[in-house]
Amino acid sequence: MAPLDAADLIGRVRFERGDVRDGARVLEVVRGHDGVVHAAAALPIQRTRRRIYSANITGTRHVLDACLAHGVERVVYVSSTAVYGVPKSLPETEESPLDPIGYYGESKVAGEQLCARYGRQGLAVNVLRPKTFLGPERLGVFELWFEAIYSDKRVYLLGDGNNRYQLLAVADVVDALVKALHSKVYGETFNIGAREFGTWRSDLGAVIRYAGSQSKLTGLPVRPSQAVLAVLERLGLSPIAAWHYLTMPADSYIAIDKAERLLDWHPTQSNVELLVESYRWYAEHRAEVLHKVGSTHRVGWNFQVLDLVRWLP
């Protein structure tokens, strides 16, 4: 049986629009449900502490309050490997020290702490820490690379690109969510990421070969580039946050054996497979998304000054 997509769900699910920062609305929507997956979050590109904390901390508190009030049997909170910051030992495990970068990482640590607090009050919560995940319709920062490959332009990397960086397929995230929701195990935190992954240079090189592109991978000096990006971030001229430009040139991967053992979850797609799948979707829908921007992963981001790289040879 083929997996369901959004079109298949029309008429089979009820859609309720709301804002997790509205406690009364959250309380209303949660009523009558046995399980809740809390994945709503403001991304690092929201920049300000107020905007990120209000959604990621206050919003999480509202969700957990509502779940406790209505006797929800199981909650899954979607955190992030951003809680680890720049990796200090590899692979990172669920026991690794937390050293978040910026307001987004801090807010995810605070969200996990809230889950632990409500867990002590009797709420059954599992926490997932996914690596950066990618799939059809999910663009964000990857649009810069996909457009360069499509247009036979240079693909710029921070550093030489020989660092190993683990990603995760959206389909594998969904599978982990379902298993964490229905598992008899609760009160646990799980890393989730691809089993097979290489370096940025090898994995993006595979996409270039798949596309038949003339693009060349070009490394940029790490420290000068990070200094420039930090200035652009402070000036509000780029959506690339410290979390992106500090971790991208580093080796970054996590251990996933706990999720495999306790949830019987096993990733199905490698970095190369999910990058190729996502690029293929971008190439097929490029005309629809090229000038559609926003602040979620479902659309491209307004790269502002970084858009200049589109015009470089």
Of the residues 88, 108, 216, 258, only one is catalytic, namely 108
Amino acid 301: pLDDT:
47
Which of 237, 250, 220 is closest to 156 using CA atoms? 220
Indicate if 131 belongs to the active site.
no
Name the amino acid, one letter, at 127: V
Amino acid 179: pLDDT:
98
Name the amino acid, one letter, at 259: A
**Coil/strand/helix, residue 289:** helix
pLDDT less than 50: residues of the chain: 1, 295-297, 301
Helices 59-69, 23-30: axis angle to 10 degrees equals: 40
Which of 76, 75, 120, 81 is closest to 99 using CA atoms? 81
* Domains, the chain: 13-311 (3.40.50.720)
Amino acid 292: pLDDT:
64
Residue 76 burial by CB count (10 A; 0-12/13-18/19+): exposed, middle or buried? buried
Amino acid 293: pLDDT:
57
Contact 277, 283 (CB under 8 A): no
